[in-house]
A and B are shown apart, each in its own frame.
Chain A
Amino acid sequence: MTSFRLVGVISIVTLIRSFKMLMFFCLFLRGGLELLCDSVKIHNVDLEPENGEKQLTMKHLLSWVRTNLIKERPEMFMKGDSVRPGVLVLVNDCDWELSGQLDTTLEDKDVVVFISTLHGG
């Protein structure tokens, strides 16, 4: 019971804060992708929506990541304006296929994880 209430409280806070249009994201890069960003796995990102846009989208975030975080071999992360095959994108622990991929809108305190799938072992 307690944990359900807690989740409710957090979502209300998120909603209120998102009106400020000041975005904080927590980005995680895993499965080797962190190697493209000086091996830093967690990035706190502070972004505002593009001119004329009401909300920030994953499309905007991706192009920002490519410009600002990826230090080498961008082809290991991107293909066209999306991620390359084999990279899973999770918005708040949920596959972005379920939230609209590039059109997924982001809110304050959202957590975005990019993960390169591993093979073998």
Chain B
Amino acid sequence: MESNSVSPAEIIRKIESLKSSKNDIERQISALEAQLEKLNCNDYGRITQSSNGEITSNGSTCPLVSSLGPATGHGLAPDMIYRYSRQLLLPSFGVQGQANLLKSSVLVIGAGGLGSPALLYLAACGVGRIGIVDHDVVELNNLHRQIIHTEAYIGKSKVESAAAACRAINSNVEIVEHREAFRTTNALDIVRKYPSFHAYKLPLVSGAALGLEGQLTVYNYNGGPCYRCLFPTPPPTTACQRCSDSGVLGVVPGVIGCLQALEAVKIASAVGDPLSGRMLLFDALSARMRIVKIRGKSAQCEACGDKAALNERQFQEIEYEIFTQTPFSTAPLKLNLLPLEARITSKEYYQRVVGGEPHVLVDVRPAHHYKIVSLPNSINIPLSSLEGRLPEISDALGNKEVETKEVTADSGRALYVVCRRGNDSQRAVQYLNKMGFNSAKDIIGGLQSWADDVDPKFPMY
């Protein structure tokens, strides 16, 4: 390509046009696939696409051959025998395991870091019907761990993206899309579409991964505990960390998501010994997995115990966000701790920098955040070490010549505090004000607002 002569706008226009053609083609493929699906269900023979891409027709094309055809007795179609042959060869799984799997339904809640590998494996191994629930859209910073999604789906529904990937792997699987958050108000309606289980008795394969650690267990299975048996009271909000704040190494949810798929396959095919009444703890950094024994089903459990009187209506009326004190939305917390005069917008700060105002900018993010990106001429004093490092601020403000044991706070220079999103900076200013740094102001919305309102090229994370 002669890229020199093409403007960025032109390239963007071409990309958009290609993307739109791609969508059209995908829609046509889906329509044709649905048409093919219908044809496969009728009596005129089964059309399948062989692995070399050739269209073949098999089934009852020749009555004589058909009557002398192979005896199987398990109902697996010839193409299924070939596709799943490596699983059928396992003595402990075999034809019965596969037949059970093909008849089963699995609902995957969340098509993120855990759901991505889980969905890929569940679709590939031949679960009959897979439901996917998620309300979110694909973002660039998801792709390092949410491996089911590709760049082409950025900005689009995660469910749409994951469903397309699953269909591409295995067109025999029925994929059901639920583009909504899983809430008490819609949970029962969604779960009811997966009829093999009573809604409350569904085995739940629960996984979690954060940072470099993961956890996995199976609830509601064969007399084992349910989630509420193990955790009768929700933890305080502050104890729940999120990937967008604490970080997560991509492979870690990948490992746990794969194990979730494995446990789901074991339960659905009725093979092996699922991880019920036990919990797996995974520490990626030290390469350790530990399986611990957890309590059994609790007779006093409010959800599943002997006296539990939770009916459907009561369940739907539970205000889960209030119960757990955790807002459902993934929108970051926005504190408002300071009076207006102790705050400044990122635009105002920019004006003052341009205007040459002498000032000190303290960045209170943790050091490893500061290393990712920072504003020029800022000094990094993480909030957790602020208390012991006040003299550094004092020095920077130019108060060094005043030789007293007390930290001297106010000088002619302005003092601004910044963090990632504008919460910790408020906490810091509150503390600084208390310690006599009366001019300290926080930059509203932190570096995020700097990137949004002042410098769109400033890399955010």
A binding-site residues for B, Cβ under 8 Å: 30-32, 72-73, 75-76, 84-88, 90, 93-95, 97-98, 113, 115-121
- A94 to B283: give the CA distance in the assembly, Å: 18
Are A117 and B236 also in contact (CB < 8 A) when A90-B292, A98-B293 are?
A: no
Q: Which 7 A-B pairs have the closest CB atoms?
A: A86-B235, A121-B209, A118-B208, A85-B233, A97-B295, A121-B253, A95-B294
Give the chain A neighbours of B283 by CB distance below 8 A: 30
Give the chain B neighbours of A85 by CB distance below 8 A: 231-236
A45 to chain B, nearest CB (A): 19
Q: Is the CB of B235 within 8 A of A93?
A: no
Are A121 and B112 also in contact (CB < 8 A) when A85-B236, A86-B234, A86-B239 are?
A: yes
Q: Is the CB of B235 within 8 A of A117?
A: yes
Q: Is B240 close to A, CB under 8 A? A: yes
**Which of A76, A94, A97, A120 contacts B242 (CB under 8 A)?**
A120
Q: Classify the secondary structure of B's interface with A.
A: mixed
Q: Is the CB of B214 within 8 A of A121?
A: yes
Give the chain A neighbours of B208 by CB distance below 8 A: 117-121
Q: Is B243 close to A, CB under 8 A? A: yes
A-contact bits for B280-315, CB 8 A (1 contact / 0 none): 010100000011111100000000000000000000
B binding-site residues for A, Cβ under 8 Å: 110, 112-114, 207-211, 213-215, 230-236, 238-243, 246, 248, 252-253, 256-257, 279, 281, 283, 290-295, 384
Q: Is the CB of A76 within 8 A of B238?
A: yes
Q: Is the CB of B292 within 8 A of A121?
A: no
Q: Is the CB of B295 within 8 A of A118?
A: no
- A90 (CB) vs chain B CBs: closest residue: B292
Q: Is the CB of B243 within 8 A of A120?
A: yes
- A72 to B231: give the CA distance in the assembly, Å: 24
Are A119 and B240 also in contact (CB < 8 A) when A93-B290, A93-B292 are?
A: yes
Give the chain B neighbours of A73 by CB distance below 8 A: 238
**Which of B110, B209, B293 contacts A94 (CB under 8 A)?**
B293
Give the chain B neighbours of A94 by CB distance below 8 A: 292-293
- A121 to B235: give the CA distance in the assembly, Å: 17
Give the chain A neighbours of B253 by CB distance below 8 A: 121
Q: Is the CB of B295 within 8 A of A95?
A: yes
- A120 (CB) vs chain B CBs: closest residue: B208
B211 to chain A, nearest CB (A): 8
Q: Is the CB of B231 within 8 A of A86?
A: yes
Give the chain A neighbours of B211 by CB distance below 8 A: 32
Q: Is the CB of A30 within 8 A of B281?
A: yes
- A76 to B384: give the CA distance in the assembly, Å: 16
Are A121 and B248 also in contact (CB < 8 A) when A93-B293, A95-B295, A97-B295 are?
A: yes
Q: Is the CB of B235 within 8 A of A84?
A: yes
Q: Is the CB of A118 within 8 A of B235?
A: no
Q: Is the CB of B292 within 8 A of A113?
A: yes
Give the chain A neighbours of B233 by CB distance below 8 A: 85-86
Are A118 and B214 also in contact (CB < 8 A) when A93-B292, A94-B293 are?
A: yes
- A73 (CB) vs chain B CBs: closest residue: B238
Q: Is the CB of A118 within 8 A of B293?
A: no
Q: Is the CB of B235 within 8 A of A30?
A: no
A-B contacts, 29 listed (Cβ < 8 Å): A30-B213, A30-B283, A31-B210, A31-B213, A76-B236, A76-B238, A76-B239, A84-B236, A85-B235, A86-B231, A88-B230, A88-B279, A88-B294, A90-B292, A94-B292, A95-B292, A98-B295, A115-B215, A116-B239, A118-B208, A118-B209, A118-B210, A119-B241, A120-B110, A120-B112, A121-B207, A121-B252, A121-B253, A121-B256
Q: Is the CB of B231 within 8 A of A117?
A: yes
A96 to chain B, nearest CB (A): 9
- B209 (CB) vs chain A CBs: closest residue: A121
Give the chain B neighbours of A72 by CB distance below 8 A: 384
Give the chain A neighbours of B240 by CB distance below 8 A: 119
Q: Is the CB of B236 within 8 A of A31?
A: no
Q: Is the CB of A121 within 8 A of B114?
A: yes
Give the chain A neighbours of B209 by CB distance below 8 A: 118, 121
B294 to chain A, nearest CB (A): 4
Give the chain B neighbours of A98 by CB distance below 8 A: 293, 295
Give the chain A neighbours of B112 by CB distance below 8 A: 120-121
Give the chain A neighbours of B232 by CB distance below 8 A: 85
A28 to chain B, nearest CB (A): 9
Give the chain B neighbours of A115 by CB distance below 8 A: 215, 281
- A31 to B235: give the CA distance in the assembly, Å: 13
Give the chain A neighbours of B279 by CB distance below 8 A: 88
